[in-house]
């Protein structure tokens, strides 16, 4: 087994349960995954640093050690019952790329740093791309540390804990300047497999917004309150959700998802008094996200007028579509062609830390195929030869990018 495959297999044991992998930010599993990353880095004497939000960096020196580093990485956290490759592959591939540079005694001008971003999925705290948002200055550190999970635990407390928090004996890093960012990721969709091409170069990442919707109705006895007098929060929420689906279909080139739903008091003989749910809207075109958001707000307004409820919508996060850097994309294409491999250009519907990094530095992404296009599920898989080819493409791309970035 090659190193990338072995390392991914080792990492996939952390947080593994019956239905998939659970490795939310600042959990025991997340801490163990960061420790494993640190172990791999130490085995090659890469200099380790971490920042206050839990991002971890492993640095291989460059010829010009005062030059800003090229960062290469992805994330170690997973969605609930997630797979072994989303994020994890990009982190493992980054460390393997450093090792390849080391093995081939390749001198780069810039320091190259493998990075494991904290909490990309936003599965525990209500913010996606959490670590890269703080690193790039898009989110304030103190405000982010004050975010609380569903149980009321703040990120600050979770990161202060010995079990789940920052790594021991790893210095805190203040420096955030970089010369470029590269990320390799599984495609999470069917295009590369369908086209029979082993590598993809990402053109842009779809824009994305997340919301929290709360519908306050009136609880009551399921047997005695007449239908005409009810303020059923679940019925109102259902109507809003179906309106959202219809809007996304009608507007086109957008996707809208309600992935989290809580109904209270959640009893068979009590009229639901409160419903809360998440909304995730994405599109390559921000105007289309605006249109779906408007439809969501109109639907909530109608529910309030007609259904004796009070529905409120809180926007948690908004990321504009993120074009990837054309010079970096061309450099990746050159590197892949020189390897004698084929790649196609394709957009990303999934979100990535690269969306944040591209606001402060030239950024590009490489995709490898996902078997059956599956992702965010336990069955997520990429063939070993595709994983290995991806590491080779990433390593060659680093060398190419190192030649011209400032």
User: Exactly one of 24, 62, 69, 87 binds Mn ion (CB under 5 A); which one?
Assistant: 87
* Cβ nearer to Mn ion, comparing 51 with 86: 86
d(CA 83, CA 12): 8
Using rule CB under 6 A, residue 369 touches ligand GLV: no
Using rule CB under 6 A, residue 128 touches ligand GLV: yes
Using rule CB under 6 A, residue 318 touches ligand GLV: no
* Cβ nearer to ligand GLV, comparing 90 with 128: 128
In the complex, least distance from residue 130 CB atom to ligand GLV, rounded to whole angstroms? 12
Using rule CB under 6 A, residue 350 touches ligand GLV: yes
Among Mn ion, ligand GLV, none, the one that 54 touches (CB under a kind-dependent 5 to 8 A) is none
In the complex, least distance from residue 376 CB atom to Mn ion, rounded to whole angstroms? 6
Binding mask 63-102 for ligand GLV (x = CB under 6 A): ----------------------------------------
The 10 Å CB-count burial string (b at 16+, else e) for 25-42 is bbbebbbbbbebbbebbe
Among Mn ion, ligand GLV, none, the one that 351 touches (CB under a kind-dependent 5 to 8 A) is ligand GLV
Using rule CB under 6 A, residue 380 touches ligand GLV: no
Question: What string of DSSP letters covers 140-187?
Answer: -HHHHHT-B-TTS-BHHHHHHSTTTSSPTT--B------SEEEEEEE-
Using rule CB under 6 A, residue 183 touches ligand GLV: no
* Cβ nearer to Mn ion, comparing 86 with 100: 86
Q: Look-up: residue for tokens 């995954």?
A: 33
Joined together, the tokens standing for residue 107 give 């001198």
Asked if 124 contacts 118 with a C-beta cutoff of 8 angstroms, the reply is: no
Q: Look-up: residue for tokens 């209270």?
A: 264
In the complex, least distance from residue 284 CB atom to ligand GLV, rounded to whole angstroms? 14
Using rule CB under 6 A, residue 344 touches ligand GLV: no
Residue facing Mn ion at closest CB distance: 87
* Cβ nearer to ligand GLV, comparing 22 with 400: 22
Determine the interface stretch with Mn ion among 25-33, 87-95, 230-238, 390-398 (rule: CB under 5 A): 87-95
User: Exactly one of 51, 121, 183, 353 binds ligand GLV (CB under 6 A); which one?
Assistant: 121
d(CA 223, CA 215): 22
d(CA 76, CA 123): 12
d(CA 150, CA 192): 37
Give, as one character, the DSSP assignment of residue 370. Answer: -
* Cβ nearer to Mn ion, comparing 20 with 87: 87
User: Exactly one of 62, 83, 273, 351 binds ligand GLV (CB under 6 A); which one?
Assistant: 351
d(CA 402, CA 331): 10
Asked if 259 contacts 278 with a C-beta cutoff of 8 angstroms, the reply is: yes
By C-alpha distance, which of 18, 121, 110, 4 is closest to 66?
A: 110
Among Mn ion, ligand GLV, none, the one that 200 touches (CB under a kind-dependent 5 to 8 A) is none
In the complex, least distance from residue 183 CB atom to ligand GLV, rounded to whole angstroms? 12
d(CA 114, CA 117): 10
In the complex, least distance from residue 205 CB atom to ligand GLV, rounded to whole angstroms? 9
What distance lies between CA 77 and its chain's CA centroid? 8
Which ranges of 213-282 would DSSP assign to H, the alpha helix?
233-251
In the complex, least distance from residue 350 CB atom to ligand GLV, rounded to whole angstroms? 4
Residue facing ligand GLV at closest CB distance: 351
Which ranges of 13-112 would DSSP assign to H, the alpha helix?
28-43, 88-103
Give, as one character, the DSSP assignment of residue 5. Answer: H
Using rule CB under 6 A, residue 321 touches ligand GLV: no
Give, as one character, the DSSP assignment of residue 369. Answer: -
Asked if 371 contacts 383 with a C-beta cutoff of 8 angstroms, the reply is: yes
In the complex, least distance from residue 302 CB atom to Mn ion, rounded to whole angstroms? 33
Q: Which residues bind ligand GLV (CB under 6 A)?
A: 121, 128, 350-351
Q: Which residues bind Mn ion (CB under 5 A)?
A: 86-87
């Amino acid at each position: 087994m090659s190193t990338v495959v072995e390392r991914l297999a080792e990492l996939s044991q952390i947080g593994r349960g019956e239905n998939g992998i659970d490795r939310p930010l600042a959990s025991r599993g997340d801490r163990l995954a960061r420790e494993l990353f640190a172990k791999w880095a130490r085995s090659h004497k890469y200099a380790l640093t971490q920042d206050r939000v839990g991002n971890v960096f492993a640095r291989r020196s460059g010829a010009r050690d005062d030059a800003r580093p090229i960062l290469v990485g992805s994330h170690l956290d997973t969605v609930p019952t997630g797979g072994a490759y989303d994020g994890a592959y990009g982190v493992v591939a980054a460390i393997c790329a450093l090792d390849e540079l080391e093995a081939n005694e390749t001198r780069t001008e810039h320091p190259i740093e493998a990075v494991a971003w904290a909490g990309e999925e936003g599965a525990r705290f209500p913010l996606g791309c959490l670590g890269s948002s703080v690193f790039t200055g898009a989110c304030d550190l103190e405000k982010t540390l004050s975010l609380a999970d569903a149980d009321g635990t703040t990120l600050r407390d979770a990161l202060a804990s010995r079990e789940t928090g920052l790594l021991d004996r790893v210095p805190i890093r203040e420096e955030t300047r970089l010369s470029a960012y590269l990320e390799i990721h599984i495609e999470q969709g069917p295009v590369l497999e369908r086209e029979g091409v082993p590598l993809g170069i990402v053109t842009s990442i779809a824009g994305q917004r997340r919301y929290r919707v709360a519908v306050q109705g009136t609880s009551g006895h399921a047997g005695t309150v007449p239908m005409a007098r009810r303020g059923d929060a679940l019925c109102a929420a259902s109507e809003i959700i179906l309106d959202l689906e219809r809007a996304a279909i009608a507007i086109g080139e957008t996707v809208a998802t309600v992935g989290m739903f809580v109904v209270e008091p959640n009893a068979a003989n009590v009229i639901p008094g409160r419903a809360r749910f998440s909304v995730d809207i994405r599109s390559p075109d921000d105007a289309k996200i605006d249109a779906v958001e408007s439809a969501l707000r109109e639907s909530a307004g109608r529910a309030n007028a007609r259904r004796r409820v009070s529905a409120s919508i809180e926007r948690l996060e908004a990321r504009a579509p993120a074009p990837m850097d054309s010079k970096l994309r061309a450099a990746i294409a050159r590197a892949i062609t020189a390897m004698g491999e084929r790649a196609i250009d394709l957009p990303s519907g999934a979100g990535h830390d690269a969306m944040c990094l591209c606001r402060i530095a030239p950024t590009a992404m490489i995709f490898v195929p996902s078997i059956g296009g599956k992702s965010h599920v336990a069955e997520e898989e990429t063939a070993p030869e595709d994983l290995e080819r991806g590491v080779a493409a990433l390593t060659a791309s680093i060398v190419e990018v190192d030649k011209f970035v400032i």
